[in-house]
Amino acid sequence: DIQMTQSPSSLSASVGDRVTITCRASQSISSYLNWYQQKPGKAPKLLIYAASSLQSGVPSRFSGSGSGTDFTLTISSLQPEDFATYYCQQSYSTPIFTFGPGTKVDIK
């Protein structure tokens, strides 16, 4: 089974900060990595697919990079509406899918 880890598990940041979240796979998953944002009480929302492709309608301050086992989600300038929990998800082992444990971004 492919295991996903994320670091940090939580972080505190200020509006305008550059934020980077890391997702690591237990084996190479090429670029089969997606990122979601979840706000409290809401469903997750797709931000990035295939490691670096921005989903339609998602602000350009979000970007994704990486391949193999190490991936990053970057928010170039944190906005008030970006405080949320972020999850990565791998699809390399399709038809089995796994999510990372999440990274909570809150206000410093």
What part of residues 49-88 is at the interface with another protein (CB under 8 A)? 49-50, 53, 55, 87
Residue 19 vs 32, nearer CB to another protein: 32
For another protein, the closer CB: 36 or 62? 36
Find the binder of another protein among 8, 15, 39, 96 (CB under 8 A). 96
> Binding of another protein at residue 99 (CB under 8 A)?
yes
**Least separation in angstroms between CB 60 and another protein:** 18
What is the residue-wise DSSP string for the chain? ---EEEE-SEEEE-TT--EEEEEEESS--TT-EEEEEE-TTS--EEEEETTTEEPTT--TTEEEEEETTEEEEEESS--GGG-EEEEEEE-TTTT--EE---EEEEE-
**Contact footprint for another protein (CB under 8 A):** 31-34, 36, 42-46, 49-50, 53, 55, 87, 89, 91-92, 94-102
